[in-house]
Amino acid sequence: MENRMERLAGWLIRDKGTDYLATMRGWIELEGVPRGLPREAPAVVFGERAEPARLTVAKIEVDSTGDSGTRRRPRLAVRPAGHLSTASGLRQTAREWLVESGFDEIVLPMIWSRSEEYGAEEFQLAHSRMDDIDLRILQSPEFPLYTALAEGLDRSFAFGRCFRYEAGDGAASSEHYLMEFEQLVFATTFEGLGDCMAQVEELIRTLAKAVSVDLDDVDFLVSAPEGMSDVAAKGRAVELERVVLFTVPASWPAAARRVLVDRLEQAGASVIALEGDDDVLRGGTEVRLAVETGDATVATVHRILDTAASYVMPGNGISAAIALQWNPAWEAYLPLEWREDEQSESAYPVRSITSRRETDADGNERIADAELYLKGIEVAHVRAYADRTQFEENLAKAGINDPNGRFGYLLDALESAPPGMVGMFIGWERLLTVLEGLLATQEAQLYPRDGTGRLVGETGPHAHRRTDRDADKE
C-alpha cells in the first residue's frame, strides 16, 4: 500500500543515539528529526511511515515551553501496533469491494434475547430498566442476521462485535481465540454455498493484493465429500483442523523433497499428498501436502515447515513462495454431529442448529457449512441456512427445551423466508493476522481483551535493559 502522511502524538525520546516517539501504539523510530530539540518532551509528528515501526519526519511540533519535569514520560504501551494504518486501509478496501458487489452496510445489535448456537456459556447483561427481559451479549451475529434475512433483507454486510467465553484445553488455549473479537459479516439470499464460497475467495484475493500478495494463480483447495450439491471437491478429503498444509514448489528437486519428508516423519508426522502427483518425491511438479501431527510434535513440525518455506530455489520469486504457503483451503459439508474425539464447549450433540442439512452418498447427515483456512488459521465461515422445517428438526436433534419460547420469533419469520439464505463470516482479527504476518491474533488488537483495560508490557527498544535505578529516577 502507498505511504500516506500521518499525524502521531506522543513523547519524543532520544535513546542510545536513536530518536523515538513513544505512543500508546508503541515506540515508533523516527528518521530526519531536526537537531537541537529537547532530549525528552511531548511532541506531535507529521510524516510518512516507511514500515510499521519507522516514520520519516516531515514536520515536528515539540512542547518545550512548559515545565515538562512534572509530566511523566510514558513507559508502558498497550500493544506495539504499527500495522494499524495498513489494517485501516484493508477495512476500507473490504468496504469498497462489498459496496461495488452490491452489498449494503448495516448495523447489527450487540445484545439479543438469546445469542448462543452451540450451547456454550453466554454473557448475561443486567439493565436496571429492563428487569423482565433476559438480554445476552452476542456470541456472534448469527441470530440477528438470520432473522433479518428471514424478514427479507438481502445482500448486506456489517463489521460486528462478538463476545465468547471458550474454556478448557482446546479452543481457549489457542492463540487465535479471543474473548472479544470482530467479524466481517455479509449475507445474501437465492445463492448456493459454492457461489458464496467463491465470493469470499474473491474478497480474500482482493485484500491479499492490497498487501502485495498475489493469489490469482493459487488454487483454493476444497475438501468435501464427493457428490454434495453445489460444491466440487478439489483434492483428497481431509479434516483440516488436524493437519498443517504445505505446498512444495515445482522447482524443488527430489533431494530437497526427500530431506523435508524425512525430517517430518522423524518428528512423528504423517505426510499425505493432497494435490498433484502422489509421488511427493518426484521433482518438476507442485504438490500440496497435508502434514498430520501429534500433540507432542506440533511445534517441531511447524519449525520444520517454517524453515522449508523460506527455502527459495533460483528462479523462484519470494512473493510467489509466500503466496504458495498461504495454502488457502476449504473444509466443506462438515458432519452434523460432533466426533467423539473433538474438544468442544458445545452443550448440544450437533454442530449447528441453523445450518441446512444434507445427506452424503454414504447416508451421513452433514451441514451445508464451509470453513476457510489460510496458513492453517480458520479465517472465514460460510453457512447455508435451514428453512423453518429443518430448523425445527435441528432444534429437536439438539435436544433444546421450549424451542418456541426461545426461538419463536425466528420460527415465525422463517414461515415466509426467501430460499437460499447464506451468511458469510470472516474473523477480522484472524484475517489481519495472516495478511500482516503477525504471530498471534491478539497482536491484531490495540487493547488486550481480558476485560480489565490494563496496559501490558514495556515496548521500548531497550526496555529489557531498564534497572531499578531507572525506576527510581522516574
Tens of pLDDT, residues 217-256: 888 999 898 878 788 888 777 777 778 888 888 878 888 8
- Specify whether 295 is located in the same domain as 358: no
Whether 138 shows a pLDDT value over 70: the answer reads yes
Whether 413 shows a pLDDT value over 70: the answer reads yes
Give the CA angle between residues 309, 238, 277 to the nearest 5°.
60
**DSSP secondary structure code for residue 218 in this structure:** S
**238 assigned to some structural domain:** no
Burial (CB count <10 Å: 0-12, 13-18, 19+), residue 426: buried
- Strand (E) or helix (H) holding 48: strand 40-51
**451 assigned to some structural domain:** no
Look at the chain and report how many structural domains it folds into: 3
- Strand (E) or helix (H) holding 87: helix 84-100
At 100-131, the pLDDT tens digits run 999 999 999 988 887 777 777 788 887 777 77
What is the rounded CA–CA span in Å between residue 389 and residue 374?
35
Which structural domain range is residue 45 located in? 5-79+459-473
Final residue in a domain of this structure, among 290, 315, 340: 315
- Specify whether 345 is located in the same domain as 202: yes
**320 assigned to some structural domain:** no
What is the rounded CA–CA span in Å between residue 244 and residue 293?
8
- Strand (E) or helix (H) holding 105: strand 104-105
**450 assigned to some structural domain:** no
- 397, HSE (Cβ side, Cα atoms, 13 Å): 21
- Mean pLDDT, rounded, for 434-444: 79
DSSP output for 295-361: TTTHHHHHHHHHHHHT---TT--HHHHHHHTT--EEEEEEESBPPTT-----SSSBS-SSB-EEE-T
Whether 197 shows a pLDDT value over 90: the answer reads yes
Mean of pLDDT over the chain: 81
At residue 460, the pLDDT reads 44
- Strand (E) or helix (H) holding 257: helix 254-266
In Å, how far are 142, 293, 369, 373 from 423, measured between CA atoms? 8, 32, 10, 17
Q: Which of 181-190, 303-312, 313-322 has the lowest mean pLDDT?
A: 313-322
At residue 465, the pLDDT reads 34
User: Among 166-170, 225-229, 236-240, 332-336, which range has the highest average pLDDT?
Assistant: 332-336
Dihedral (Cα; 203, 206, 211, 212), 10-degree rounding: 140
**CATH number of 38's domain:** 2.40.50
Distance from the Cα of residue 93 to its chain's centroid: 16
Cβ neighbours, 10 Å, residue 2: 5
Question: Closest Cα partner for 332 from 228, 192, 189?
Answer: 228
Torsion sign over Cα 77, 79, 85, 91 = negative
- Specify whether 435 is located in the same domain as 332: yes
In Å, how far are 114, 134, 199, 208, 240 from 224, measured between CA atoms? 32, 39, 18, 25, 11
At residue 166, the pLDDT reads 58
**322 assigned to some structural domain:** no
Per-residue cell: 397:
436433534
- 269, HSE (Cβ side, Cα atoms, 13 Å): 27
At residue 425, the pLDDT reads 97
What is the rounded CA–CA span in Å between residue 209 and residue 215?
8
Partners of residue 10 on adjacent β-strands: 43
- Specify whether 225 is located in the same domain as 92: yes
At residue 374, the pLDDT reads 92
What is the rounded CA–CA span in Å between residue 251 and residue 264?
20
| Residue scoring higher pLDDT (313 or 294) | 294
At residue 179, the pLDDT reads 79
Distance from the Cα of residue 423 to its chain's centroid: 17
What is the rounded CA–CA span in Å between residue 104 and residue 109?
16
Q: Which long-range contacts (CB under 8 A, 24 or more apart) does 63-66 make?
A: 64/37, 64/38
At residue 24, the pLDDT reads 65
Whether 461 shows a pLDDT value over 60: the answer reads no
User: Among 2-16, 140-154, 224-238, which range has the highest average pLDDT?
Assistant: 140-154
- Specify whether 370 is located in the same domain as 428: yes
Whether 456 shows a pLDDT value over 80: the answer reads no
Per-residue cell: 92:
476500507
- Specify whether 212 is located in the same domain as 356: yes
What is the rounded CA–CA span in Å between residue 210 and residue 312?
23
**136 assigned to some structural domain:** yes
- Specify whether 299 is located in the same domain as 331: no
At residue 373, the pLDDT reads 93
Partners of residue 62 on adjacent β-strands: 43
At residue 473, the pLDDT reads 36
**pLDDT band (50, 70, 90) for residue 33:** very high
**395 assigned to some structural domain:** yes
**DSSP secondary structure code for residue 192 in this structure:** -
- Specify whether 335 is located in the same domain as 227: yes
What is the rounded CA–CA span in Å between residue 18 and residue 32?
11
**pLDDT band (50, 70, 90) for residue 176:** confident
Cβ neighbours, 10 Å, residue 366: 21
**239 assigned to some structural domain:** no
Final residue in a domain of this structure, among 315, 338, 364: 315
Amino acid symbol at 9: A
Instruction: Give Rg (Cα) of the chain.
Output: 25
Q: How many helices (H) and strands (E) does the chain have?
A: 10, 20
Whether 445 shows a pLDDT value over 50: the answer reads yes
Whether 329 shows a pLDDT value over 80: the answer reads yes
- Specify whether 217 is located in the same domain as 347: yes
Give the predicted TM-score (pTM) of the model.
0.78
- Specify whether 109 is located in the same domain as 210: yes
- Specify whether 286 is located in the same domain as 367: no
Cβ neighbours, 10 Å, residue 197: 22
Per-residue cell: 311:
527455502
**pLDDT band (50, 70, 90) for residue 316:** very low
**CATH number of 116's domain:** 3.30.930.10
- 198, HSE (Cβ side, Cα atoms, 13 Å): 9
Cβ neighbours, 10 Å, residue 87: 19
DSSP output for 383-411: EEBP-HHHHHHHHHHTT-S-HHHHHHHHH
Whether 98 shows a pLDDT value over 80: the answer reads yes
**pLDDT band (50, 70, 90) for residue 315:** very low
**pLDDT band (50, 70, 90) for residue 462:** very low
- Specify whether 310 is located in the same domain as 291: yes
At residue 438, the pLDDT reads 77
Percent of the chain with pLDDT over 70: 81
